Structure 1
Amino acid sequence: MSFRAIPRGLAASTRTCTRPIIAYSSSSSSSSSSSSIRCLNAGRTQSANGLSSRSQQSRSMATAEHAIANPTLAGIEKRWESMPPQEQAELWMQLRDRMKVDWHEMTMQEKKAAYYIAFGPHGPRAETPKGEGVKVFVQVMKYVAISFVVFYTIRMFANPPPKTLTKEWQEATIEYAKVRHTKPPPPPPPPNKNKKRK
């Protein structure tokens, strides 16, 4: 941004503020002086905001026009994980600005780096280390074995099943009912191993 643009921006902001001052100048001199101070302060902040936004725009346009240096992109696949997050963010912003131009103008290294950063095997997309499946299988089997040990330990200290559930007790109940000429309870169904489940 050139120095000539600063007075224009300041003049434009003061022009918009001087109109209300003229309209209210007849009311009181103290209110007009305070409003003129506010007007000047507003002009300064507007020009400062304009300068910062224009410098950011010019910086992004400069990075979009010029290719990123080759040493910055060389071996990015090996260096990306070890780079500090600040450098990763800066490089990604440079590549993002660079991708706004036509892709035919980008270098091959820029294309490869942009693809790797966007879709490469790093972070949550990183490949699982070798032997990960074996470790998972061993841990699952360990916890299954622990659950069996806990289950059978609890069963050891549990009360025995009631004696009325034994086969002998049920047969004796049927014989007793036949002797007394009462209708015996139905016999328990035999276990059917070939029973189809629906």
Structure 2
Amino acid sequence: MLRTSVIRGANSLAAAARPSAPRCLVQQTRQAHAISNPTLADIEKRWETLPPQEQADLWMALRDRMKADWHELTLQEKKAAYWIAFGPHGPRAQTPPGEGKKVFLYTMAGIGATFALWFGVRAFAKGETPRTMTKEYQEASNEFLKSQKSEPISGFSAEGYEGKGMIQSPPESKA
């Protein structure tokens, strides 16, 4: 509830004589009254079902009450303010029973679908290997890297290098 009080300066006659000076200062104060017990009764059970506008109005009323001296708050208001601020609702609500199992099963279903898709793509892929996977191409890559003096300290161009280099494919077996 708003209450307007008018505070006049010490020399109101002098202030009234000057046209540019304000005649009076208006100060507004907010006087919060106690929230009724029926409004706060069973707030823990009713909070989730209240419309968002009523939730906001109730919280604002409690916030205004908490701005005053806390000794003036009723026990019901203190409990309601604490529960609204820290209670298990909204993002702090407890997960429903079986939620972990549900998440695990959906995750496993997703992984299973991924493997099924991967095996399906592999089953219908062409049987030819890419030309970059032939042993001749990989040996030519090794020679090119040596001619470019790539990795001269520990790699292809280093003295005494005996690694496979770019060769990844197993030796072709002759049948």
**TM score, norm. by length of structure 1:** 0.52
3-state DSSP of counterpart to 1:81 = helix
Distance 1:90 1:186 in 2: 75
Distance 1:160 1:113 in 2: 70
Higher share of residues assigned helix: 1
* Counterparts of 1:94 and 1:117, CA distance in 2: 12
Cα distance, 1:106 vs structure 2 = 2.0
Q: 1:104 — aligned with what? A: 71
RMSD across aligned positions (CA): 3.8
Match of 1:83 in 2: 50
- SS of the aligned residue for 1:160 comes to coil
TM-score normalised to structure 2 length: 0.58
Q: Name the counterpart of 1:148.
A: 115
Gaps of 5+ in 1: 21-41, 166-184, 189-198
Equivalent residues in 2 for 1:39-58 (5 A)?
50=26, 54=28, 57=29
Aligned sequence identity (%): 51
1:131 maps to 98
DSSP 3-state at the match of 1:19? coil
Whole-Å Cα distance in 2 between the matches of residues 122 and 186 of structure 1? Answer: 63
Structure number with greater Rg is 1
Gaps of 5+ in 2: 136-161, 168-175
Identify the match of residue 117 of structure 1 among 67, 78, 84.
Answer: 84
Post-superposition shift, 1:108? 1.7
Equivalenced residues, count:
132
> C-alpha offsets along residues 138-165 of structure 1, whole Å, 9 cap, x if unaligned?
1111111111111111111223365967
* Residues 15 and 149 (structure 1), Cα distance of their counterparts in 2 relative to 1, 3 Å cut: same
Q: Deviations over 1:164-184 (max 9, x none)?
A: 67xxxxxxxxxxxxxxxxxxx
**Structure 1 segments (4+ residues) deviating >4 Å:** 161-165, 185-188
TM-fit CA distance, 1:123: 1.6
